[in-house]
Amino acid sequence: MPQVETAMGAIDVDDIGMCLMHEHIIIADWDMRQNYDDYVDIEKEVPKAVGSLNAAKERGVKTIVDLTPVNLGRDIRSIIAVSKASGVNVICPTGFYWTEEAWMHGWDANHLSTYMIRDITEGILDTDVKAAIIKCATDHTGVDEFNKKLLQSTAIAHRETGAPISTHTTIANTSARDQVAAFKEFGVDMSRVVIGHLGDSTDIDYLEEILSSGCFIGMDRFGLEAFLPTDERVQTVVTLCEKGYAGQMVISHDACSFQDFFDGEYVEKFAPNWCYEHVPRDVLPALLAGGVSQADVDTMMVANPKKVFSNGGAY
């Protein structure tokens, strides 16, 4: 039976269950944390994250994938603490965010890939927890020279370890299309790739173009109404299911229990449903009401995550 590494050790892929494939537990910049003791109170934030995951667990969520890149504040000790306290499996990431940093420019793709390979094959820091997925991100700058280097380093780590890839894109440009082109150039198995944040788009032709590569697409920002209202997101998934694409979609929120991008009170006001339980509580019933079959819901929430992580064994 294939296995996947989690914050609580390797599990059989059959035990992934209902899975939210693109989430974050804590995002907090390490430079700020190391220089300002009051930047984030982790002792307060961990119990809050446990409570949020417990709410999702009560609605059937068994596993989440934390996709916080190394240079966006990945905090493996907090991930472990939250997973153990909640009993929710957390699949942990490696990989780098799109933001240019001075130290990255002097190193080539092969060098950058060594850090990801180490996280996957040896473990993260001094823990026994191994990363099981590679996060790669491009944003408003698109797939420029720097970001293409990050995509190449991701591809190298993927080919070396067999670990799947999950990405961050923006619909403001063609970054999803360009990611697919780059991954094909670099020899990535597209059946092991989730191109993320495509739930922000209602352009069915564009989505079908990305799907034609054989990848999965992440309909993964439910709750972020400012980007696209839930009813439009639901209708897009309904339409794609009608066209036979349930086997290539995963559904999630891109939510964070804590993030340092905005004030927490502001987030609660502009995105009150941006939380781990929104999909099982509100979105899945809306999909069923829209004509999506229970079998297709199970495919998107259970079978597809299992496929992503079924590579014949733990990494």
**What is the spatial distance between Cα 63 and Cα 91, in angstroms, rounded to a whole number?**
7
Instruction: Using DSSP bridges, classify how beta strands 165-168 and 133-137 pair: parallel, antiparallel or unpaired.
Output: parallel
Quickly state the pLDDT bin for 169 (edges 50, 70, 90): very high
- pLDDT at residue 297 is higher than 50: yes
Quickly state the pLDDT bin for 68 (edges 50, 70, 90): very high
- pLDDT at residue 312 is higher than 90: no
The DSSP bridge partners found for residue 96 are 136
- pLDDT at residue 265 is higher than 90: no
Overall average pLDDT of the 149-154 stretch: 97
The DSSP bridge partners found for residue 218 are 250
Overall average pLDDT of the 197-219 stretch: 98
Instruction: Tokens 């109404």: give the residue.
Output: 225
Q: 212-245 b/e with 16+ CB inside 10 Å = b?
A: ebebbbbbbbbbbbebbebeebbebbbebbeeeb
Share of the chain above pLDDT 70, in %: 99
SS3 category, 55:
helix
- Indicate if the alpha-carbon torsion angle 99, 103, 109, 114 is positive or negative: negative
Quickly state the pLDDT bin for 313 (edges 50, 70, 90): very low
Contacts of 276 (CB under 8 A, 6+ apart): 20, 23, 52, 53, 55, 56, 61, 64, 253, 255, 257
Across the chain, what does the average pLDDT equal?
95
pLDDT digits (tens, 9 = 90+) for 3-35: 999 999 999 999 999 999 999 999 999 999 999
Q: What is the pLDDT of residue 314?
A: 39
116-119 LR contacts (CB < 8 Å, sep 24+): 116/153, 116/154, 116/157, 117/157, 117/160, 117/161, 119/94
Comparison of pLDDT for 59 and 262, the residue scoring more? 59
Share of the chain above pLDDT 90, in %: 91
Residue spans of beta strands (DSSP E) within the chain? 3-4, 11-12, 18-27, 61-66, 89-91, 93-96, 133-137, 165-168, 193-195, 216-219, 249-251, 256-259
Q: Record the tokens describing residue 43, joined without a space.
A: 């002792």
- pLDDT at residue 277 is higher than 50: yes
The residue type of 136 is: C
Q: What is the pLDDT of residue 268?
A: 82
**Burial group, residue 205, by CB count within 10 angstroms (0-12, 13-18, 19+):** exposed
Domains of the chain: 3-309 (3.20.20.140)
CA atoms within 13 A on the CB side of 306: 17
Overall average pLDDT of the 284-295 stretch: 98
Overall average pLDDT of the 239-253 stretch: 98
pTM: 0.96
Overall average pLDDT of the 254-270 stretch: 88
Give, as one character, the DSSP assignment of residue 166.
E
**What is the spatial distance between Cα 23 and Cα 279, in angstroms, rounded to a whole number?**
12
Q: What is the pLDDT of residue 1?
A: 77
Most confident of 99-103, 147-151, 262-266, 268-272: 147-151
Instruction: Count how many residues are written for the chain.
Output: 315
Q: What is the pLDDT of residue 315?
A: 36
**What is the spatial distance between Cα 257 and Cα 45, in angstroms, rounded to a whole number?**
8
